A = this chain, B = another copy of it.
Protein backbone atom coordinates (compact mmCIF):
# COMPACT_ATOMS: atom_id res chain seq x y z
CA UNK A 1 0.00 0.00 0.00
CA UNK A 2 1.04 3.63 -0.45
CA UNK A 3 1.45 6.05 2.40
CA UNK A 4 -2.03 7.45 1.84
CA UNK A 5 -4.47 7.14 4.70
CA UNK A 6 -7.69 5.23 4.09
CA UNK A 7 -11.27 6.35 4.51
CA UNK A 8 -14.01 4.93 6.72
CA UNK A 9 -17.12 3.59 4.99
CA UNK A 10 -20.14 3.02 7.21
CA UNK A 11 -22.82 0.69 5.87
CA UNK A 12 -26.16 0.45 7.62
CA UNK A 13 -29.52 -0.95 6.77
CA UNK A 14 -32.20 -3.21 8.19
CA UNK A 15 -31.63 -6.95 8.63
CA UNK A 16 -32.38 -8.86 5.45
CA UNK A 17 -31.70 -5.93 3.12
CA UNK A 18 -28.74 -7.77 1.61
CA UNK A 19 -25.81 -5.83 3.06
CA UNK A 20 -23.70 -8.97 3.39
CA UNK A 21 -24.11 -9.98 -0.25
CA UNK A 22 -23.40 -6.47 -1.54
CA UNK A 23 -20.32 -6.13 0.65
CA UNK A 24 -18.95 -9.52 -0.33
CA UNK A 25 -19.11 -8.56 -3.99
CA UNK A 26 -17.61 -5.10 -3.48
CA UNK A 27 -14.74 -6.48 -1.39
CA UNK A 28 -13.87 -9.15 -3.96
CA UNK A 29 -13.33 -6.50 -6.63
CA UNK A 30 -11.18 -4.09 -4.63
CA UNK A 31 -8.04 -5.14 -2.79
CA UNK A 32 -7.69 -1.76 -1.06
CA UNK A 33 -10.91 -2.43 0.86
CA UNK A 34 -10.94 -4.02 4.28
CA UNK A 35 -13.67 -5.20 6.53
CA UNK A 36 -13.77 -4.09 10.15
CA UNK A 37 -14.54 -7.19 12.19
CA UNK A 38 -17.07 -6.38 14.91
CA UNK A 39 -17.21 -7.86 18.36
CA UNK A 40 -20.59 -9.35 19.26
CA UNK A 41 -22.28 -11.24 22.05
CA UNK A 42 -24.70 -12.95 19.67
CA UNK A 43 -24.34 -16.64 18.86
CA UNK A 44 -22.61 -17.53 15.58
CA UNK A 45 -24.89 -18.43 12.66
CA UNK A 46 -24.05 -21.61 10.74
CA UNK A 47 -20.92 -21.02 8.70
CA UNK A 48 -19.79 -17.89 10.55
CA UNK A 49 -16.17 -17.86 11.65
CA UNK A 50 -14.79 -16.30 14.80
CA UNK A 51 -12.28 -13.53 13.95
CA UNK A 52 -13.47 -13.39 10.35
CA UNK A 53 -17.22 -12.65 10.45
CA UNK A 54 -17.23 -11.45 14.05
CA UNK A 55 -15.27 -11.69 17.23
CA UNK A 56 -17.73 -13.77 19.24
CA UNK A 57 -17.33 -12.74 22.86
CA UNK A 58 -19.16 -13.24 26.13
CA UNK A 59 -21.26 -10.48 27.66
CA UNK A 60 -18.57 -10.14 30.36
CA UNK A 61 -15.73 -9.67 27.87
CA UNK A 62 -17.86 -7.19 25.91
CA UNK A 63 -18.52 -5.11 29.01
CA UNK A 64 -14.80 -5.12 29.73
CA UNK A 65 -14.03 -3.84 26.20
CA UNK A 66 -16.53 -1.03 26.74
CA UNK A 67 -15.05 -0.18 30.13
CA UNK A 68 -11.49 -0.12 28.73
CA UNK A 69 -12.48 2.16 25.83
CA UNK A 70 -11.49 -0.51 23.32
CA UNK A 71 -14.60 0.10 21.16
CA UNK A 72 -15.11 2.97 18.72
CA UNK A 73 -18.84 2.43 18.90
CA UNK A 74 -21.13 -0.17 20.36
CA UNK A 75 -24.84 -0.75 20.44
CA UNK A 76 -27.38 -3.24 21.70
CA UNK A 77 -29.58 -4.60 18.97
CA UNK A 78 -32.26 -7.32 19.08
CA UNK A 79 -30.96 -8.33 22.49
CA UNK A 80 -27.30 -8.65 21.49
CA UNK A 81 -24.31 -6.31 21.78
CA UNK A 82 -22.19 -5.27 18.79
CA UNK A 83 -19.10 -3.09 18.77
CA UNK A 84 -16.20 -1.92 16.59
CA UNK A 85 -12.72 -2.48 18.07
CA UNK A 86 -10.86 0.82 17.71
CA UNK A 87 -7.19 -0.21 17.37
CA UNK A 88 -7.48 -2.61 14.39
CA UNK A 89 -9.52 0.03 12.52
CA UNK A 90 -6.92 2.75 13.04
CA UNK A 91 -4.13 0.41 12.00
CA UNK A 92 -5.88 -0.51 8.74
CA UNK A 93 -6.54 3.17 7.92
CA UNK A 94 -2.88 4.01 8.54
CA UNK A 95 -1.89 1.19 6.19
CA UNK A 96 -3.95 2.92 3.49
CA UNK A 97 -6.93 0.58 3.48
CA UNK A 98 -10.47 1.88 3.16
CA UNK A 99 -12.31 0.20 5.99
CA UNK A 100 -15.94 -0.86 5.83
CA UNK A 101 -17.98 -0.86 9.02
CA UNK A 102 -21.16 -2.90 8.69
CA UNK A 103 -22.99 -1.61 11.75
CA UNK A 104 -26.37 -0.71 13.19
CA UNK A 105 -27.86 2.79 13.09
CA UNK A 106 -27.12 3.48 16.72
CA UNK A 107 -23.47 2.58 16.12
CA UNK A 108 -23.34 4.66 12.93
CA UNK A 109 -24.47 7.67 14.91
CA UNK A 110 -21.53 7.16 17.24
CA UNK A 111 -19.08 6.90 14.34
CA UNK A 112 -20.41 10.25 13.10
CA UNK A 113 -18.82 11.76 16.19
CA UNK A 114 -15.36 10.18 15.74
CA UNK A 115 -15.22 10.09 11.93
CA UNK A 116 -17.58 12.78 10.61
CA UNK A 117 -15.85 12.55 7.21
CA UNK A 118 -16.74 8.85 6.86
CA UNK A 119 -19.02 7.80 3.98
CA UNK A 120 -22.35 7.07 5.66
CA UNK A 121 -24.42 4.78 3.49
CA UNK A 122 -27.87 3.37 4.12
CA UNK A 123 -28.96 0.26 2.20
CA UNK A 124 -32.68 0.42 1.52
CA UNK A 125 -35.01 -2.41 0.44
CA UNK A 126 -37.12 -1.70 -2.66
CA UNK A 127 -40.16 -2.23 -0.40
CA UNK A 128 -40.98 -3.42 3.09
CA UNK A 129 -42.58 -6.55 1.63
CA UNK A 130 -39.29 -7.51 -0.02
CA UNK A 131 -37.62 -7.28 3.35
CA UNK A 132 -40.22 -9.53 4.99
CA UNK A 133 -39.75 -12.16 2.29
CA UNK A 134 -35.95 -12.06 2.50
CA UNK A 135 -35.91 -12.44 6.27
CA UNK A 136 -38.36 -15.36 6.18
CA UNK A 137 -36.29 -17.03 3.45
CA UNK A 138 -33.10 -16.83 5.46
CA UNK A 139 -34.54 -19.54 7.74
CA UNK A 140 -31.90 -19.27 10.43
CA UNK A 141 -34.10 -17.65 13.06
CA UNK A 142 -37.32 -18.29 14.95
CA UNK A 143 -40.53 -16.53 13.85
CA UNK A 144 -40.35 -14.48 17.08
CA UNK A 145 -36.85 -13.26 16.25
CA UNK A 146 -37.92 -12.43 12.69
CA UNK A 147 -40.89 -10.45 14.02
CA UNK A 148 -38.54 -8.55 16.33
CA UNK A 149 -36.16 -7.81 13.45
CA UNK A 150 -39.03 -6.56 11.29
CA UNK A 151 -40.22 -4.26 14.04
CA UNK A 152 -36.68 -2.90 14.40
CA UNK A 153 -36.42 -2.58 10.61
CA UNK A 154 -39.53 -0.39 10.50
CA UNK A 155 -37.96 2.01 12.96
CA UNK A 156 -34.62 1.92 11.14
CA UNK A 157 -36.17 2.73 7.78
CA UNK A 158 -37.35 5.99 9.24
CA UNK A 159 -33.75 7.03 9.97
CA UNK A 160 -32.42 6.99 6.41
CA UNK A 161 -32.34 10.78 6.28
CA UNK A 162 -29.42 10.84 8.70
CA UNK A 163 -27.26 9.17 6.05
CA UNK A 164 -25.35 10.77 3.22
CA UNK A 165 -26.01 8.06 0.65
CA UNK A 166 -29.01 5.83 0.01
CA UNK A 167 -28.57 2.68 -2.05
CA UNK A 168 -31.75 0.82 -2.95
CA UNK A 169 -31.00 -2.89 -3.19
CA UNK A 170 -33.39 -3.75 -5.98
CA UNK A 171 -30.98 -5.35 -8.45
CA UNK A 172 -27.87 -6.65 -6.73
CA UNK A 173 -25.48 -5.64 -9.53
CA UNK A 174 -26.78 -2.07 -9.48
CA UNK A 175 -26.43 -1.84 -5.71
CA UNK A 176 -22.88 -3.18 -5.94
CA UNK A 177 -21.97 -0.68 -8.67
CA UNK A 178 -23.49 2.14 -6.65
CA UNK A 179 -21.56 1.28 -3.52
CA UNK A 180 -18.38 1.03 -5.58
CA UNK A 181 -19.14 4.49 -6.99
CA UNK A 182 -19.69 5.93 -3.51
CA UNK A 183 -16.30 4.56 -2.43
CA UNK A 184 -14.46 5.75 -5.56
CA UNK A 185 -16.07 9.18 -5.39
CA UNK A 186 -15.16 9.28 -1.71
CA UNK A 187 -11.51 8.85 -2.68
CA UNK A 188 -11.85 11.77 -5.11
CA UNK A 189 -13.11 14.15 -2.43
CA UNK A 190 -11.04 17.27 -2.15
CA UNK A 191 -10.61 16.60 1.57
CA UNK A 192 -9.02 13.22 0.75
CA UNK A 193 -6.77 14.83 -1.86
CA UNK A 194 -5.52 17.35 0.67
CA UNK A 195 -5.14 14.72 3.41
CA UNK A 196 -3.02 12.46 1.24
CA UNK A 197 -1.02 15.24 -0.38
CA UNK A 198 0.10 16.26 3.09
CA UNK A 199 1.05 12.71 3.90
CA UNK A 200 3.53 12.51 0.99
Give chain A's interface residues, CB within 8 Å of chain B. 121-122, 160-161, 163-167, 177-178, 180-190, 193-194
Contacts and interface: CB of A to CB of B under 8 A. Distances in A.
Contact of A165 (B178, B182, B185): B185
B178 A182 contact: no
15 contacts: A160-B190, A161-B190, A165-B185, A165-B190, A166-B189, A166-B190, A177-B184, A178-B184, A180-B181, A181-B182, A181-B184, A181-B185, A182-B188, A184-B185, A185-B186
A167 B188 contact: yes
A89 to B, nearest CB: 23
- Give the secondary structure class of A's interface: helix
- Interface centre among A163, A166, A180, A183, by most chain B C-beta atoms within 10 angstroms, is A166
A29 to B, nearest CB: 12
Contacts of A121: 188
Nearest to A191: B164
B161 A189 contact: no
A185 B179 CA distance: 8
A161 B183 CA distance: 20
A67 to B, nearest CB: 35
A177 B177 CA distance: 12
B193 A188 contact: no
A194 B164 contact: no
Contacts of A164: 189-190
- Interface centre among A180, A181, A189, by most chain B C-beta atoms within 10 angstroms, is A181
Contacts of A194: 161
A165 B187 CA distance: 9
- Interface centre among A161, A186, A193, A194, by most chain B C-beta atoms within 10 angstroms, is A193
A181 B180 CA distance: 8
A77 B182 CA distance: 34
Nearest to A177: B184
